[in-house]
Amino acid sequence: MVERFRCLSCGHTFPWFRADRGEPACPACRSTRLEANPWLLGTADADLTAEEHLAVALEV
C-alpha cells in the first residue's frame, strides 16, 4: 500500500510504501515531522488530481 506524506519541515510531498522498512522520512530533508496526506481518488479528502494520481503510480 502507498501512503502520501507532506513534510512539516520543508513542505515536500512524497509517496511512501508500507512495505518499506522503518518509519517514513522526508527524502528531501530527512525530517520525520510528517503529515499524512490522503490521496484516495474520488473521496472528499482527495488532494490529488487524476493526473497526479497517475504520476505517483508511475513513480513505482
Mean pLDDT in residue range 43-49: 55
Q: What is the DSSP letter of 28?
A: T
Return the pLDDT at 44.
46
Q: What percent of the chain has pLDDT over 70?
A: 63
Q: What percent of the chain has pLDDT over 90?
A: 20
| pLDDT at residue 43 greater than cutoff 70 | no
Return the pLDDT at 40.
45
Mean pLDDT in residue range 8-27: 82
Show Cβ contacts of residue 22 under 8 Å, excluding neighbours closer than 6 positions: none
Q: What global pTM score does this model have?
A: 0.57
Q: Which CATH architecture has domain 2-58?
A: Single Sheet (2.20)
Rounded CA-CA distance 59/45 in Å is 22
